[in-house]
Structure 1
Amino acid sequence: MKIKEKVHINQRPVKGGGFSLHLDYRIGGKRIREFLKLYLVPVKTQADKIKNTETIRLATEIKNKRIRELDSGELNVDTPKRAKTVFAIDYFQKKISQMKVENSRQNNTVMLRSFAEFRKNATLAEINRDFFSKFIDFLTSKDLSPGTIRLYGVLLKARLHDAYIDKLIPSMPDFYGIMPKKRSTEIEFLTIEELRQLDAEPAPDEIRNPFLFCCFTGLRFSDVQALKWDNIDNDTIIIRMKKTKEIVRVPLSANAKKFLPERKSKGKVFEIGPLNSLTRGLKAWAENAGLKKNLHFHMSRHTFATLALANGAELYTVSKLLGHRSVQTTQVYAKVLDEGRRKAVDAIPEL
């Protein structure tokens, strides 16, 4: 006879393939859906199969823990008393103040301003699916871009997850399907002519060298900021990327070498300040050079990818140089080039 389990592991399809895992169980007749932030990937290789096996193992561990908590009476659906009295803004501000990454603090602070404008005195207990839906509607009414709305939604969910970890709320609400769908954004990059234009315009070395170096290596800001001389061997960069944890090997071209400082025995290659200061310097440099583009550091990575593909590099090779986990991520650059070619053809006058 099949034994009816108290807790079930269920799957939900996610965009791009694969499934997210969540637990389903009931307490006092109320259904609880607990999202685990664990994902099964489409099986294409043996490594994918092994990864999915490990994911299922982790989900099963959590499931078994919930069963034990249900049996012992530790789990309940009563909202903790603190959640009914703690203002969400006060709790979120405390979490934001503990963040070490400046960019994260800034993004969360801006999100919190909109949250305060929407419902300043909301408690943690009030933030449910209906609340979240109305918050997204409020952001939409402010004529914010879909990308900004998605960002604010993601950040609010992350701070609410902090409250769940701190046991201020009994479970994460189900926000599935509420946020606007992610749209492909236009990628800005520099042409070789624009790079020459920048190169001809004087700029401080701490701004000029790392930016142009990344235009010919594809490194992110976080990676070039952490780059050490020990990471360069036989004219090749070997570094584990901070964002994806992927190890990349990027040969140094003659163009890239032009912007390397004098080699030292050890230490960092570039002395780079905070990103916001660097961004201000880049914008001033672009303006002085007569460029009409809104220059920011990540444009150097876009520039490397598009220049490499435009000059005959294979998509797979560029993907590996960028440290992308999937070639699909790199395909967006190929699409940009295809659109540019289409515009060039359509620009020819009719006979």
Structure 2
Amino acid sequence: MPITAELIKSSYLGTLSNSHTLLEAVADHNVKMEQLVGKDYVRGTLNRYKVLETHLKVFIHLKYNVTDMDIRTIDQAFLNGFDHYLRSEKNCANNYVVKNIKNLGKILRICMENEWIDKSPFTTYKGKTKNVDRFYLNKEELTQIIGKEFLSERLKQVRDVFIFCCFTGLAYVDVFKLKQENIRKGIDGDRWLFTNRQKTKTRSSVPLLTTATKIIDRYATNKICLNKGLLLPVPSNQKMNEYLKEIG
């Protein structure tokens, strides 16, 4: 086959027969993951890979002035450049950057298994997550949030969902799917919460404290809860975080 400018361009863009592109690999991964949401994955995990896909599209166009790249051209220099782009152009924190590139590394490993590439450059990536000091609400701060009167109904509901999480120890994703049927009588005769934890896949039995039961009773006749068969009117994770910042 004679080497031509068009051949070189096709090779670079991944349009040769039996070749694959980076964004093709990412999109293929995301489609398959979406089919397993609710089974092996939660939607939040899928959303992180969709954000990765968006970052890669912008980076490839900005750095290489193309719309996609042959998966075989992805090397250590590409990962280093993507790392630098996220830190400099997007002003992302270290742990966010490392997690994005680790997610990309997972996709590259799948490409190896599919024999789309011979090896993954991720094996030499040096990025590491750093321990982050997390600040927790003390009793006084929690009491202040509970007693705060909000004019906005949406802020009241988000506050109540947050407080419910605090008094049950359940994560957002676990509270999001709770239904009335998850509430049953416990060994002490009082109301308990029985559910399967999304992250650990373990059975959880939680005695409901007074604060938690008051919140449940508050939304027993809520139209959103009744229509959807849910225990609480929990918004999307994005809205939840957005409104919590407003509350703060």
After TM superposition, the score normalised by the length of structure 1 is: 0.49
**2:101 is the counterpart of 1:153:** yes
Deviation at 1:216, TM superposition (A): 1.1
Equivalent residue number for residue 193 of structure 2: 237
Name the counterpart of 2:169.
218
Partner letter of residue 94 of structure 2?
P
SS in 1 for 2:205: strand
Partner of 1:227: 178
Contact 1:240 1:246 (C-alpha < 8 Å) held by counterparts: yes
Deviations 1:86-130 (A, max 9, x none): 442354346546654263255324532345434454311112345
Aligned with 1:278 (options 223, 240, 243)? 240
What is the aligned length?
Answer: 206
Determine which structure has greater relative contact order: mean sequence separation of CA pairs < 8 Å that are 6+ residues apart, divided by chain length. 2
More helix, by proportion? 2
The question of whether the paired residues in 2 share the 8 Å contact of 1:209 and 1:260 is answered with: no
In the alignment, is the contact (CA less than 8 A) between 2:177 and 2:230 conserved in 1? yes
Matched, 1:260 2:211: no
Match for 1:212: what amino acid? I
RMSD between superposed Cα atoms in Å: 3.4
Partner amino acid, structure 2, of 1:179:
K
Q: Deviations over 1:59-87 (max 9, x none)?
A: xxxxxxxxxxxxxxxxxxxx995564x44
> Using the alignment, how far apart are the partners of 1:170 and 1:114 within structure 2?
21
Q: Deviation of residue 163 (structure 1)? A: 3.5
CA shift digits 1:2-41 (9 cap, x unpaired)? xxxxxxxxxxxxxxxxxxxxxxxxxxxxxxxxxxxxxxxx
Bigger Rg, which one: 1
Q: Distance in 1 between matches of 2:82 and 2:32?
A: 25
Render the CA deviation track for 1:314-335: whole Å, top value 9, x for unaligned. xxxxxxxxxxxxxxxxxxxxxx
CA gap of 1:136–1:96, structure 2 versus 1, over 3 A, is same
Query: Partners of 2:65 and 2:23 in 1: how far apart?
Result: 7
Q: 1:190-339 counterparts in 2 under 5 A?
A: 190-199=137-146, 200-202=148-150, 203-204=152-153, 205-234=156-185, 235-261=191-217, 262-263=219-220, 267-286=229-248
**Larger CA deviation: 222-231 vs 205-214:** 205-214
Name the one with the larger strand percent.
1
* 1:231-287 deviation digits (Å, cap 9, x = unpaired): 22222222211122122222211222222135589932113232212222222223x
The amino acid that maps onto 1:274 is: S
Question: C-alpha separation between the residues in 2 aligned to 1:249 and 1:256?
Answer: 14
**Whole-Å separation in 1 of the counterparts to 2:73 and 2:108:** 11
2:232 aligned counterpart, secondary structure:
coil
* CA distance in structure 2 between the partners assigned to 1:168 and 1:117 by the alignment: 28
Whether 1:92 and 2:23 are equivalent positions in the alignment is no
Map 1:96-135 → 2, pairs under 5 A: 96=30, 100=34, 101=43, 103-112=47-56, 113-119=58-64, 121=66, 122-135=69-82
Q: Could you tell me how far apart the structure 2 residues matched to 1:104 and 1:223 are?
A: 19
Instruction: Tell me the distance in 1 between the aligned counterparts of 2:17 and 2:234.
Output: 44
% identical aligned pairs: 22
C-alpha deviations, 1:219-239, integer Å up to 9, x for none? 111100011222222222222
**Partners of 2:18 and 2:74 in 1: how far apart?**
10
**Structure 1 residues 253 and 115, CA, compared in 2 at 3 Å: closer, same or farther?**
farther
Q: For the Cα contact (< 8 Å) 2:49–2:103, is it kept in 1?
A: no
Aligned residues of 2:23 and 2:53 also touching (Cα < 8 A)? no
Distance in 2 of aligned mates of 1:111 and 1:274: 22
Give the alignment partner of residue 111 of structure 2, picking from 163, 169, 181.
Answer: 163
> Alpha carbons of 1:216 and 1:93: their partners in 2 closer, same or farther (altered >3 Å)?
same
Question: Any gaps of 5 or more consecutive residues in structure 1?
Answer: 1-78, 287-351
Query: Does 2:126 match 1:179?
Result: yes
TM-score under structure 2 normalisation? 0.67
Kindly indicate whether the alpha-carbon contact (under 8 Å) linking 1:136 and 1:179 is maintained by their aligned counterparts in 2: no
Distance in 1 of aligned mates of 2:109 and 2:169: 33
Could you tell me how far apart the structure 2 residues matched to 1:218 and 1:115 are? Answer: 42
Question: Counterparts of 1:282 and 1:232 in 2: how far apart (Å)?
Answer: 26
